[in-house]
Amino acid sequence: MNSLHNVRALRAFAFTAGMLALACASGAIAAETYPARPIKLIVPFPPGGGPDLIAREVATTVTTQQGWTIIIDNKPGSGGNIGMDAAAKAAPDGYTLVMGQTSNMAINPSLYAKLPYNPQKDLTPVGLVASAPLVIAVASNSPYKTLADLMNAAKANPDGINYASSGSGTVAHLATEQLQRIANVKLTHVPYKGAAQGVTDLIGGQIQMYISSVVTLSGHIRNGKMRALAVTSAKRSVDLPNVPTVAEAGYKGFEAVTWFGIAAPAGVSKDAVAKLNAAFNKALETPDVRKKLTEQGADVLGGPSEQFAALVRDETVRWAKVVKESGAKVD
According to the model, what pLDDT value does residue 322 have? 86
DSSP secondary structure letters along 110-164: HHBSS-SS-HHHHEEEEEEEEEEEEEEEEETT-S--SHHHHHHHHHHSTT--EEE
Per CATH, 39-131+259-326 and 133-231 having the same topology is answered: yes
What's the whole-model pTM score?
Answer: 0.78
According to the model, what pLDDT value does residue 329 have? 78
According to the model, what pLDDT value does residue 32 have? 55
**pLDDT (tens digit per residue) in 208-266:** 999 988 888 988 999 999 999 999 998 999 889 999 999 999 998 888 889 999 999 99
According to the model, what pLDDT value does residue 186 have? 92
What b/e string do you get for 246-272 counting C-beta neighbours within 10 Å, with b at 16 or more?
bbebebeebebbbbbbbbbbeebeeeb
According to the model, what pLDDT value does residue 276 have? 98
Say which amino acid occupies 192: Y
According to the model, what pLDDT value does residue 8 have? 47
CATH 3.40.190.150 at 39-131+259-326, yes or no: yes
According to the model, what pLDDT value does residue 215 have? 84
Q: Name residues of the chain where pLDDT drops below 50.
A: 1-18, 21-31
Annotated domain spans of the chain:
1-29, 39-131+259-326, 133-231
Hey, which CATH number is domain 133-231, 3.40.50.300, 1.10.3720.10, 3.30.450.20, 3.40.190.10? 3.40.190.10
